Structure 1
Amino acid sequence: MTESHTTARDLAALVIPQQGHLQETDDPWEPYQLVDPTGQVVEPVAAYFRELQGASSPATTIRSYGNDLLRWFRFLWAIDIPWDRATRTDARDFARWLQTADKPARVHWRSKGNSEPADDVPLPAPRSGRAEPGSPNSVTGKRRPGRKYAASTRAHCETVVRIFYDFHLESGSGPIMNPFPLHRSRKSVRAHAHRNPMQEQGNERQGRYRPKVPKQLPRRIPDEKFNEIFAGLKSNRDRALLAFWVSTGARSEELLTSLHRDADPGQQLIGVIRKGSREYQQLPASADAFVWLRLYQEESRRAGAPHGRRDSLWWTLRRPWRPLNYSAARAMFNRANELIGANWTLHDLRHTAAYRMAQDPAISLTDVQWVLGHAKLTTTQIYLSPSRDEVIENVIAHHARQARKLTEPAPAPPPPPGPGYNPASLDILFGRP
């Protein structure tokens, strides 16, 4: 048994170097590889990636899982423990480290070269005049990214690493015990066992070191703020993108998969590849979106951008022509956000479209479910709940009414009826309570 298993590990003095990396390949059979500090592919992770691909997981899922596993393997490399010798003590310390460690600083793409990755560097202090990391935005109310790992990031990481060890445990290629155990209260629960209906049903596969993630309602962009963002856009391409996102409810990366042949202005439809099922689906869009699209297509055709039926619908604005990717689209939206001091995301456009459709009494909730591509109707029902802005507006109006009650004089009682009139009959006649 190593020293780290018998004595308390000094996590405060532990430094996690930024060694190893997750690299994208051009091989469709192996879209991502986890590479160790010596430049060798980590084979246990490669085997797990093959399992994910066999289970029809898209490349974006493999990339997301790969980043979580890279975080875990960097911790193991720092404490010098092989992945198949990790114990629950190591998993516990990893969970503790994620709670207190600062996130590494992102390296700008212009400064990336062929040099070796630098050590883990904490996020720099904010410049003068800039908001503190983790503080709420004054326009949207959303918190800015903080210096620490968010609870959702830590929860996702714990789940991915635990399932990674479950895979190797089942295949017999890993340790005989998963270092990331299940929660003690769930360990002895029998599958399909009867439960007390008065008790809340929990997740039987919840990990012991998985943090609690607070549930938050999706945020939408108010109409007046959306108009301000739209007015700050610089090109017809960007105006067309936002018009399609906010009218179709498509995910940001789904719309970027559209080709020229997928736009059908006559039927007012645009085709996208769904993120989860990878199925092709045509979505109805607003007429304004196709107007902006037509203006963008004329400009890009005159500029020389590819415009064949099988070519991408969205291109960069300058040569060399490249299909617009998610990172570039997000940077475009962030620039428009900064003009009004907001921090909404591209996914908030999907939430905005969902709220608009769900609150239209002429559209059924099942129609909204189909447009959004939700597998369960309960996922769509969250858009029936009032948004943060609506709740704030309603409560402020309530306080205003209460203030008027305290300041305005009480209404004078009605004068007594004349002789010979029945008061009860007069109340019915004038509709008085």
Structure 2
Amino acid sequence: MVEPAIGVRNVAALRVDRVGRVVETGDPLRPFELLDEHGVEVTAVSEFLHHMLADDARPTSLRSYAYELLAWFRFLRTIGVAWDGAGRAEARDFALWLKTVRKPSRPRRSDAPAPGGVNPLTGKATPGLNYAPRTRRHARAVIRSFYEYHREMHGRPLVNPFPAAEGAEDGRLKRSPQPDAGGRQPLQRAAYQPKEPKPAPRIIPDQAFNELFTALSSNRDRALIAFYISTAARASELLGIVQGLVAPEDQTVGVIRKGSQALQHLPASPDAFVWLRLYQQEMHGLIPRGSSQPVWWTLRRPFRPLSYDAARMVFTRVNQLLGANWTLHDLRHTAAKRMIRDPNLTLADVQWVLGHAHITTTEIYTNPAPDEVVSHVLAHHERQRSGADALPAPPAPGYRPEVLAALFGTPQISGEA
């Protein structure tokens, strides 16, 4: 075994124990806490999460940030470095560790696809054994924002272990670690920031969607999927609608946008309201009624509002039946692509429906999907085979073919009868 160079930590030999945990408190002002291996609250993290909450972050964001910081604190505990004593070397080694370590194993079905394999029906890869670049980018950005908060509020540590990208503004706290709504990134990637591929949005072909919809087993699920495919709402947005914001007479539903928290009334298809009415009739007298009550409920007692995990299981069951691996978010991509294809809708129309702050984000749907490109190229080959794209007719007599070829770059075709 090759010994590591002087001053370089042997990351491959590290065994990071899964100690400490994130707990939900039930306190709306302190919804989540990070506890160390002794069950003691990590006050530096609690203060940062409190700042995020005051900055209008959602509880789900606080939970996500807490878990990313839990991984960082576990790593620092393993290498014996205090959080406020970490520097560039620790940031470098954490990036290497996160890149090479295997994700914690979870129970898997015996017929589950191999990690990292590509589904032959959808063309989508299943999650691999290691953390994806997007996950590692998110972890880096969360930890960086944690240190920026403490630098600005308390003046320590003096140096953020994870530096900003060259030329990026570093003068104010930024809550979100994600790219801006326009998808723009710094001109130069920051140190220890993983490269992230830019895959095209995954679109469900019409035939595959029809098969998926046919496999649904309840009117609730049909109504839910019909609203997803016609409103292009995010999964959490549609699950959060209440009965008072459903307007069949206007053919709209009101959702609270994930980013801005603004109420927006989205148009939906007539079929979606038909399926919704059938579902409501089946649940009449079984679930609470009222303008502030949720629309979506579980179908078995005790009846509870439908959660994201429960809605995801609807897709999981259908995927198992079809041998696919579509996701709820694929429905949003598919709805956006369908609207882009409609010549009577402008790009600004689609931007408004999707709730994008920048039209550059919406423009990604103008790019052809892989299946569209394949279809177009195969049609091209068929035209070549059948002669539909044959060479043009020869020129009229009297023109010299070599002169025409030189002028227009065409093959020499005899102009003689």
1:326 deviation in Å? Answer: 0.6
Of 335, 344, 359 in structure 2, the residue corresponding to residue 362 of structure 1 is 344
Name the residue aligned to 1:157.
139
Match of 1:166 among 137, 148, 157: 148
Task: Answer yes or no: is the 8 Å Cα contact 1:58–1:276 preserved in 2.
Answer: no
> What is the rounded CA distance, in whole Å, between the counterparts of 1:272 and 1:154 in structure 2?
31
Large movers: runs of 4+ above 6 Å: 187-191, 408-416
| Corresponding position of 1:231 | 214
In structure 1, the partner of 2:58 is: 58
Matched residue, 1:115: none
Cα pair 2:168 2:186 within 8 Å, conserved: no
Size of the alignment, in residue pairs? 382
2:255 aligned counterpart, secondary structure: strand
Aligned with 2:291: secondary structure? coil
Displacement after TM superposition at 1:130 (Å): 4.3
Offset of 1:400 from its aligned partner? 3.0
Describe how 1:124-143 pairs up with structure 2 within 5 A.
127=110, 130-143=112-125
Structure 2 counterpart of 1:203, one-letter code: P
2:366 to 381, 384, 401: 384
- Distance in 1, matches of 2:373 and 2:206, equals 16
Q: Hey, what's the Cα distance between the residues in 2 that align with 1:79 and 1:103?
A: 19
Equivalent AA in structure 2 for residue 377 of structure 1: I
Distance 1:105 1:388, change over 3 A: same
Q: What amino acid does structure 2 have at the position aligned with 1:288?
A: D
Give the root-mean-square deviation of aligned CA atoms.
2.7
Shift of 1:307: 2.3
Is it true that 1:331 corresponds to 2:313 in the alignment? yes
Aligned to 1:277: 260
State the shift of 1:205 in Å: 7.8
| Cα distance in 2 for residues equivalent to 1:190 and 1:222 | 43
Contact 1:5 1:89 in 2 (8 A): no
Distance 1:393 1:177, change over 3 A: same
What is the TM-score normalised by the length of structure 1? Answer: 0.82
- 5 Å-filtered alignment, 1:171-186, equals 171-172=153-154, 174-183=156-165, 186=166
Tell me, in whole angstroms, the C-alpha distance in 2 between the residues paired with 1:415 and 1:187. 63
Letter in 1 for 2:123: G
Q: Secondary structure at the match of 1:339?
A: helix
Aligned to 1:301, what secondary structure does the other structure show?
Answer: coil
For 1:321 and 1:131, the matched residues in 2 are separated by 33
Alignment correspondent of 1:11:
11
Aligned AA (2:231):
T
Tell me which residue corresponds to 2:68: 68
Distance between the aligned counterparts of 1:394 and 1:6, measured in 2?
Answer: 57
Q: Which runs of 5+ in 1 are unaligned?
A: 108-123, 192-200, 417-433
Q: For 1:39, give the aligned amino acid.
A: G
| Partner secondary structure for residue 93 of structure 2 | helix
Deviations 1:203-229 (A, max 9, x none): 168420001101112111111101111
Letter in 2 for 1:266: E
CA change 1:5–1:77 in 2 (3 A) is: farther
The alpha-carbon deviation at position 258 of structure 1 amounts to: 0.8
1-side partners of 2:168 and 2:65: how far apart?
28
Aligned to 1:420: none
Q: Report if aligned partners of 2:163, 2:191 keep a CA contact under 8 Å in 1.
A: yes
Task: Please give the alpha-carbon distance, in whole angstroms, between the structure 2 residues aligned to 1:236 and 1:251.
Answer: 20
Distance 1:413 1:370, change over 3 A: closer
Distance 1:189 1:54 in 2: 22
Q: Return the alpha-carbon distance in structure 2 between the equivalents of residues 285 and 332 of structure 1.
A: 21
Change (3 A) 1:44 1:364: same
Please point out which of 225, 230, 246 is paired with 1:247: 230
Return closer, same or farther for 1:22/1:405 CA change in 2, 3 Å cut-off.
farther
How far apart, CA to CA, are the structure 2 residues paired with 1:306 and 1:21?
36
Q: Which residue of 2 aligns with 1:293?
A: 276
Determine the structure 1 residue equivalent to 2:85: 85
Q: Is the 8 A contact 1:229 1:340 kept in 2?
A: yes
Q: Give the CA deviation at 1:405.
A: 4.9
Deviates more, 1:261-270 or 1:203-212: 203-212
Once the 2 structures are TM-superposed, how far is the Cα of residue 348 of structure 1 from its aligned partner? Answer: 0.8
1:137–1:143: 8 Å Cα contact kept in structure 2?
A: yes
Structure 1 stretch 35-44 or stretch 6-15: which is displaced more? 6-15
Counterpart CA distance in 2 for 1:263 and 1:282 is 9
Partners of 2:169 and 2:276 in 1: how far apart?
55
Taking a change above 3 Å as real, the CA distance of residues 43 and 391 of structure 1, as seen in their structure-2 partners, is same
Distance 1:5 1:316 in 2: 58
Q: Deviations over 1:16-38 (max 9, x none)?
A: 22212222232221222222221
Amino acid at match of 1:322: R
Q: Which of 194, 208, 211 in structure 1 is aligned with 2:194?
A: 211
SS of equivalent residue, structure 2 residue 352: helix
In structure 1, what is the Cα distance between the partners aligned to 2:96 and 2:380? 44
% identity of equivalent residues: 50
- Cα deviations across residues 339-362 of structure 1 (Å, max 9, x unaligned)? 221111111111111111111111
Corresponding letter in the other structure for 2:312: R
- TM-score by structure 2 length? 0.85
> Could you tell me how far apart the structure 2 residues matched to 1:254 and 1:296 are?
19
- In structure 1, give the amino acid aligned to 2:38: T
Instruction: Give, in angstroms, the shift of residue 148 of structure 1.
Output: 0.5
Give SS of 1:272's match: strand
CA distance in 2, matches of 1:413, 1:8: 72
Following superposition, the deviation at residue 411 of structure 1 comes to 10
Q: Structure 1 pair 130/333, CA: closer, same or farther in 2 (3 Å)?
A: closer
Query: How far has the Cα of 1:156 moved from its partner?
Result: 1.2
The secondary structure found in structure 1 opposite 2:26 is coil
Summarize the Cα distance change of 1:190–1:373 in structure 2 as closer, same or farther, 3 Å threshold. closer
Q: Report the secondary structure of 2:30's partner residue.
A: coil
